[in-house]
Amino acid sequence: MSRVETLLAAMTLEEKIGQLNMATADRVVTGPVLPGDTEAGIRSGRIGCMLNLWGAEPARAIQRMAVEETRLGIPLLLGFDVVHGHRTIFPIPLAEAAAFDAALWERTARVAAVEAAEDGIAMTFAPMLDVTRDPRWGRIAEGPGEDPWLASRFAEAKVRGFQGDDLSAATSVAASAKHFLAYGAPTGGRDYASVDVSDRALHEVYLPPFQAALAAGCATVMPGFNDIAGIPMTAHVPLLRHWLRGQAGFDGVVVSDYNAIAELIRHGVASDLVEAAALALKAGVDIDMMSSAYARGLSTALERGLVEIGEIDAAALRVLTLKEQLGLFDDPYRRGASSATAGSYEAAARRELAREAACRAIVVLTNSGLLPLAAKSRRIAVVGPLANARAEMRGSWSAAGEPDDPVTILEGLRAALPGSEIVFAEGVAIDGEDVRGVAEAVAACRAADVIVLCLGEAAWMSGEAASRANPVLPGRQRQLAEAVLDLGKPVVALLSCGRPLIAPWLEERAGALVATWFLGSEAGNAIADVLTGRFNPTGRLPITWPRDIGQAPIFYAARSSGRPNNPKDHYTSKYLDMPVEPQFPFGHGLSYSPLALENLSVGAEKFQAGEDVLASVDVVNQGAIAGEATIFLFIRDVVASVARPLLELKGLAKITLAPGARENVRLPVPASAFAFPNAEFQPTIEPGRFELSVGLSADRTRLLTVSIEAIVD
């Protein structure tokens, strides 16, 4: 017998169930706090896991209680939402996805893991891999956007970064791929709402990122709060037990979301906690986070014959195995043994990484030539409610980051432009009706050479339980903006947000429009770096940005209708009141160096199915400064047994070019890129013509395209 099997054999039923019970500390509240004596539960072996407790000393104290004051001395599994940094806060995941840089994603996750482990944490409830195509949904901020290929690369990088090369290392934390599955497609964009998507969408859009996370060795998986066509994910046997445990072969831990097992009662599939506990356990959920359903219901479910002791044993063994993999049995105090306060060199390096990540997340949406700002001394008016909003720069899910830690936009610009006179006026609050400050802001702008207009959301307006039916600028920000724009001065408009904000009028009137998202600890410095040209912007949209919320859900990888949009034909797929095209396409983003693609080619016009293909394209920097190009590679299966999307992202390349330089870039296309799930949802490559396209965005009018033919023997 292994160590954990021997331990399991010595456990009482109550102790086994205790290993499946996750309780919360009261330091952070992420949901309804349930009553209970946590310390008594730990000492009696009825609590085996905890969340929302961090700090070296608190972690050590609670572990000592579990290890030294219980019958079997089993250490606790301590988890926390380390979503985009722990002490050092990096850009929100949606913003970080705009970097299209897997190496960067891994680096930020590694630093987050080290900082979390220094605070005694052994498990993070991240990465969030929910593909979403609806900006109404608040949790769009927490994930990598709309594309399954991109989300898959994000998944791999984050799992590698969190878990490192050795899960038992003192600097590694177990990653949790969440939220399984299709949580990002709720009805009406409302968080927690029902999901009704096709099996094809599940296999083509929502499953691939989780497959990638599992292939990367992700230790745990978290089901979503949602149901799919009436079956709540926390009790979804076909997807959790048959697909995840069976087809995908996942033998790690499945942990419920906060109170989700008890919520099976409200879903209407269980009449009480006993039935809820039985449904979740039989579906394959190992850890009950904060609903007490397992603690209060599993023993009764066993007595009623709703579950078997073997199912409880299997779940407890998986939890014990994870604890062993994390090295907790060998040394339960290894995480948190070192101080959470990094040395000055290490702390500086972490801040520098935060600044780099923030720079690479910023997307310049429009620029009439106003950016970069001239370095010569000038009077700059920095106005708007996000200009000096320090705590808001963190965004959602930054619980261990200090509110007074981030650099504000105002501070960043003042540090970057010491020779300029910079005046500040808030104008209006983020979300309020008081407009008395608008006159003061306009007065501050009248004498300015250029105005930096800082608009957007509050951090709490995106993230969990933060859906917005109409994600426009909240409060009276539009009134402030229009008063400033009416002056006729050069205006750079910045949008601090966790989602696309609907403001086509702002694009039309501002000299430059920049998506600055929520960038974390170094927000202000990074924004200043981009606005002043110290950093030539490289960010590209990981989502399609709609011109009106009536277009949602919206995404580039749509299928053709039998009557595709034709403005000259009334009976085609279009709107009567606006174009079908988005405000900005997936992949859009401007540089201070005009970049162009030329001469797309492939090695041959035909290829044998199952073979890789190599494409190449010339990239030209037509500007006067060095610039970085992000080159997207798309394919389209023109005629297939199942209609395919007009474009599917299958790869990308990055290259930095000197002024005036031209270089040839090769883009390998793996054989798997030409496959799609057939009628039985098995990968298949069919013979026939494919279109292979490259571009700087998913704007189909600007792509270079060649045709190639697959031959199948």
Q: Would you state the pLDDT for residue 338?
A: 67
Q: Would you state the pLDDT for residue 409?
A: 98
Give residue 339's pLDDT band: very low, low, confident or very high (50, 70, 90): low
Q: Would you state the pLDDT for residue 560?
A: 95
- Rg (alpha carbons) of the chain, rounded to whole number: 26
203 pLDDT above the threshold of 80: yes
* Beta bridge partner(s), residue 227: 232
Q: Would you state the pLDDT for residue 90?
A: 98
Q: Which of 530, 174, 538, 522 is nearest to 322 (CA)?
A: 174
What value does the mean pLDDT take over residues 103-113? Answer: 98
pLDDT digit string, tens, across residues 205-228: 999 999 999 999 999 999 999 999
Can you say how many angstroms the Cα of residue 546 is from the centroid of all Cα atoms in its chain?
Answer: 19
Residues 168 and 306: their CA atoms lie apart, in Å, by 36
Length of the chain: 713
Classified as helix, coil or strand, 95 is helix
Which domains can be identified in the chain, with CATH numbers? 361-551 (3.40.50.1700), 595-711 (2.60.40.10)
Cβ within 8 Å of residue 271, ≥6 positions away: 265
Residues 464 and 398: their CA atoms lie apart, in Å, by 12
What DSSP line would sit under 198-228, residue for residue?
-HHHIIIIISHHHHHHHHTT--EEEE-S-EE
What DSSP line would sit under 628-645, residue for residue?
EEEEEEEEEESS-SSPPB
Q: Would you state the pLDDT for residue 297?
A: 98
Q: Would you state the pLDDT for residue 35?
A: 45
- C-alpha angle 277/293/15, rounded to 5°? 95
Classified as helix, coil or strand, 600 is strand
What value does the mean pLDDT take over residues 391-399? Answer: 94
635 pLDDT above the threshold of 70: yes
Q: Which of 257, 405, 529, 637 is catalytic?
A: 257
What value does the mean pLDDT take over residues 234-249? Answer: 98
What value does the mean pLDDT take over residues 380-398? Answer: 97
Q: Would you state the pLDDT for residue 378?
A: 87
Q: Would you state the pLDDT for residue 33?
A: 43
Cis preceding linkage at 181, omega within 30: yes
SS (H, E, C) 40-86: HHHHCCCCCEEECCCCHHHHHHHHHHHHHCCCCCCCCEEEECCCCEC
Cis preceding linkage at 127, omega within 30: yes
pLDDT digit string, tens, across residues 119-145: 999 999 999 999 999 999 999 999 999
* Beta bridge partner(s), residue 635: 648, 692
Residues 226 and 179: their CA atoms lie apart, in Å, by 9
pLDDT digit string, tens, across residues 652-698: 999 999 999 999 999 999 999 999 999 999 999 999 999 999 999 99
Residues 263 and 235: their CA atoms lie apart, in Å, by 11
Q: Residue 707 — φ and ψ, nearest 5°? A: -105, 140
281 pLDDT above the threshold of 70: yes
Two structure tokens written together for 542: 């990981």
pLDDT digit string, tens, across residues 507-559: 999 999 999 999 999 999 999 999 999 999 999 999 999 999 999 999 999 99
Average pLDDT taken over every residue of the chain:
95
26 is catalytic: no
426 pLDDT above the threshold of 90: yes
Tell the residue number behind the tokens 């500086």, with chain if given.
348
Q: Would you state the pLDDT for residue 609?
A: 84
